[in-house]
Amino acid sequence: MKQFIGYLFLSFLFLAPLSASYAQFAKGEAFIGGGINLDVYTATNSQTRTLFGLQPSIGIFTSSQDAVGISPVLSINSGLSSTYARHSGGVSLFYRRYVTITEKLFFQFGPSMVYLTNLSDEYKFNDLSLRFSPGMTYRPTTRWMFDLSLGSLNYRLVNRAISTTSKNTSRQFTANVSNSGFVTVAYIFTRKNQ
């Protein structure tokens, strides 16, 4: 899969300059899109786990290089046994800066703040993350763009309720490459000139 993502990325790099139409961003353009994540893996204890994530997003370009937006987040993480399942939901606020490589290919980066909490009763937690995420954006037409994640730097503050009387707070700083290759799609709404 990683090799396929690499070929896809190289294809964007070589095919983007061959496109004829101009695809810059404009202040006031809005976009709606998002991504779906499905990951099935075997943990160290040989238990198969499934992670499903849904993250739609909506945003607006505040200039030809900057966008802000919001993403509701839904995540389901489950294992083989019925005793292990975690359903979480939350919201992400983001800012992105786009740097032009070609008329259709952009390097994008920016911070986001993500709040997650569990949606089930058996495992209580609150997770606040600050992330810095680079990526590549390909805009083949004036209406569509595709983002490819290149990982992230994360600072997380997690509060967990271990029992009814005990709580645990942890702080983590991580460099994450596990979300590299995550592709999102967005449709762009162009504001008409009056």
Six token digits for residue 62: 């505040």
Q: Where are the domains of the chain?
A: 2-10+37-188
Please name the residue that has the structure tokens 């030809």: 64
**In a structure prediction context, what are the per-residue pLDDT tens digits for the chain, which is 194 residues long?**
455 555 444 444 444 443 333 447 899 999 999 888 777 777 666 677 777 788 899 999 999 999 999 999 888 777 645 555 677 889 999 999 999 999 999 999 999 999 988 877 666 778 899 999 999 999 999 899 999 888 888 898 888 776 566 677 888 888 877 655 678 899 998 766 54
Six token digits for residue 141: 């037409």
CA distance 88 to 128: 13
Q: Measured in whole angstroms, how far is the alpha carbon of residue 101 from the centre of its chain?
A: 21
Six token digits for residue 116: 């997650």
Greatest alpha-carbon pair distance for the chain in Å reads 64
Report the 3 state secondary structure along the chain: CHHHHHHHHHHHHHHHHHCCCCCCCCCCCEEEEEEEEEEEEECCCCCEEEEEEEEEEEEEECCCCEEEEEEEEEEEEEECCCCCEEEEEEEEEEEEEEEECCCCEEEEEEEEEEEEEECCCCCEEEEEEEEEEEEEEECCCCCEEEEEECCEEEEEEEEEECCCCCEEEEEEEEEECCCCCCEEEEEEECCCCC
What CATH number does domain 2-10+37-188 carry, 2.40.30, 2.60.290, 3.40.50, 2.40.160?
Answer: 2.40.160
Q: Measured in whole angstroms, how far is the alpha carbon of residue 17 from the centre of its chain?
A: 26
DSSP element (H, E) containing 39: strand 30-42
